[in-house]
Amino acid sequence: MSERKSIHGEWSSQLAFFLAATGSAVGLGNIWQFPFIDGNNGGGAFVLIYLACIVLIGLPILIAEVTLGRRGRESPVNTLRGLALDEGRSRAWVGVGFISMVSGIIILSFYSVVAGWSLDYLLLSLRGAYAGASPDRVSRMFAGLTANPWRQMFWFTLFLAVSLWFSARGVRAGLERAARIMMPLLFALLLLLVVYALIVGDAGAAFSYLFSPDFSRLDGQAVLLAMGHSFFTLSLGIGAMMVYGAYTPNNVSIFRVSIWVAVADTGVALFAGMAIFSLVFAKGLAPAQGPGLIFTTLPVAFGAMPLGSLFGAAFFAVLVLAAWTSAVSMIEPTVAWLEERGWVRMRAVLAVGAVVWLLGMVLDFSFNIWSGVAWQGRTLFELFNFVSSDIMLPLGGFLIALFAGWMVSERSLRRELGVSRPLLRLWLLVLRYVTPVGVLLIFLNALGLIRGAL
C-alpha cells in the first residue's frame, strides 16, 4: 500500500520540490495582498496574528497535505478516495477533493486578472508612463486600465496562456522547470528591490509600521482575514500542496521542506512589505489604500524616485513571476484528476483553461460593463476573492486537518513522515485540536455567532 507510484511523474530532487512548493506559495498573496491587508488592519498587530496563524494553523496543514499527497500519490480526489478506503473511512471524504478543485478554478480566474494588470504595468513602467506622475494621474491610469475590458482581456489571457503552456508540459518539463527558472530570478529581483528601497526609501518608518503592534485596530474580522490569508499564502485547502506532495520522491523530508517553504513564504511577504512601505512612506503616502496600493500608490512612489521606472519594472516582473509559479499549482489538482480519468494532459489543461478564462471574463466585466452588479456590498471580483480565500480555503483546510488528524492511523503517518515519535505527537496534537478549534472559532466569530469574543 505504501509503494504507490504517481502516473504523472515526480520532482527530480528535494530542491526541486522546495522550489515548486515555494513557487506555489509565493504569489500575489505575498506581494499584492499582504501589504494592503496589513495596511488596512493596522500594521504590526496584524503581522503578529498572521505569524501565529502560519505557525499554528498553516504549517501543520501544509505538512498534512504533503503527507497525504505522498501517501496517496494521486490527484486530491483520488488520494482521498484511496486513503479513505485503506483506513476504512467514509467515501464522502472525496467531497473535499471536489471542493478543492472548484476553489482552484475560482482563484485562478481572479488571480489571472490581477496578474494581467501586473503585465500591463510592467510595460507601462518600461515606457516610463508614471515617471513624475501625480497621485491623481496614476489613479486615472489604473482606472483607465480596469475600465477597458479589451485591454484587461488581452493581458489576463496572455498570463493564462503562458500558465497553461507550462501546465501542459507536465510535472518535470513544465511545473518544475517554471519553478527552477522563475524562483531564483524572483529572489534575486526582490533582493535588489529591497536594497534599493532601503537606500532611497524610509526603512525606519516601514519597519516600525510592520513590527510595532497597535492592538486597538484589531477585531474579529481582522483575525479572520489573517487566518484566511495564512491559507491563501501557503496555497492550502485547495489540494495544491497535496498534489505537489504526490509528486515528491520518497527520500524528501516533508517536515523539513515544509518548514522551509513556510519560512520562505513569510520572508517574501515581509521583505516585499518592507520594500513597498519604505517607498510609500518616503513619499508621505498613506498605506491603507486597499487593493490599489500596488497599482496606484506604489507607482506614484516609484515615479518620484531615481531610476524609478526601472525598479518599478523589476517590481512588476517579480509580481508576474510569482503569479506564474502559483497559477500552475491551482489547476494541477483538476488536471491530474482528469488525467487519471484517461484524458490526455493537453486536453485536460485546455478544458480547465477554458473554464478559467470564461470566469476571468466575468471578472473583467465586473470592473466595467457590469460594475453595477454587487451582492451584499461586494462587487463580483471582491465576492470571488472573499468566498474562495476566506471561506472555501479555510473550510478545505479544516476538513483536511480533520482527515489527517483523526481518520488516518498514526502508524501510516509516521511511516510517511519518518520523524521521531515526540515530534509526530506534537504535530498531531496541534493538527487535531489547535488547528480545527482555531479555524472554527474564527469562522463562528466572523459569522457573528460569537461576536465580541475576539
Provide, rounded to whole angstroms, the least separation between the CB of residue 322 and ligand PFF: 7
Query: Toward ligand PFF, which CB reaches closer, 39 or 303?
Result: 39
* Beta-bridge partner residues of 375: 378
Full DSSP string of 265-329: HHHHHHHHHHHHHHHHHHTT--S--GGGGTTTHHHHHHHTSTTHHHHHHHHHHHHHHHHHHHHHH
Nearer CB in complex with ligand PFF: 147/391: 391
Q: Where are the alpha helices (DSSP H) in 127-213?
A: 135-147, 149-168, 177-200, 203-211
CA atoms within 13 A on the CB side of 137: 10
Grid cell 489613479 in the structure block, residue: 139
What separation in angstroms does the CA of 258 have from each of 8, 61, 67, 92, 279? 22, 10, 10, 28, 32
Q: Please state the closest distance from residue 134 (CB atom) to ligand PFF, in A.
A: 31
- Cβ pair 190, 265 in contact under 8 A: no
- State the maximum Cα–Cα separation within the chain, in Å, rounded to a whole number: 66
Q: 129 or 175: whose CB is closer to ligand PFF?
A: 175
Which positions lie near ligand PFF, rule CB under 6 A? 24-25, 27-30, 104, 107, 232-233, 235, 238, 240, 326, 329-330
The residue among 326 and 445 lying less far from ligand PFF, judged by its C-beta, is 326
**Is the CB of residue 122 less than 8 Å from the CB of residue 313?**
yes
Contact 259, 59 (CB under 8 A): yes
Task: Tell which residue, 151, 180, 146, 175, has the closest CA to residue 163.
Answer: 175
Q: How far is the CB of 342 from ligand PFF (least distance, A)?
A: 24
Could you tell me the smallest distance in angstroms from the CB atom of residue 29 to ligand PFF?
2
Closest approach of Cβ 25 to ligand PFF, in Å? Answer: 5
> Which is nearer to ligand PFF, 78 or 325 (by Cβ)?
325
Closer of 152 and 388 to ligand PFF (Cβ): 388
Q: How far is the CB of 191 from ligand PFF (least distance, A)?
A: 19
Considering beta carbons, is residue 308 or 397 the nearer one to ligand PFF?
397
* Minimum distance, C-beta of residue 185 to ligand PFF, in the bound complex (Å): 17
Q: How far is the CB of 132 from ligand PFF (least distance, A)?
A: 31
CA distance 152 to 365: 9
Phi, psi of 378 (to 5 degrees): -115, 135
CA angle 175, 177, 179 (to 5 degrees): 70
Closer CB to ligand PFF, residue 236 or residue 428?
236
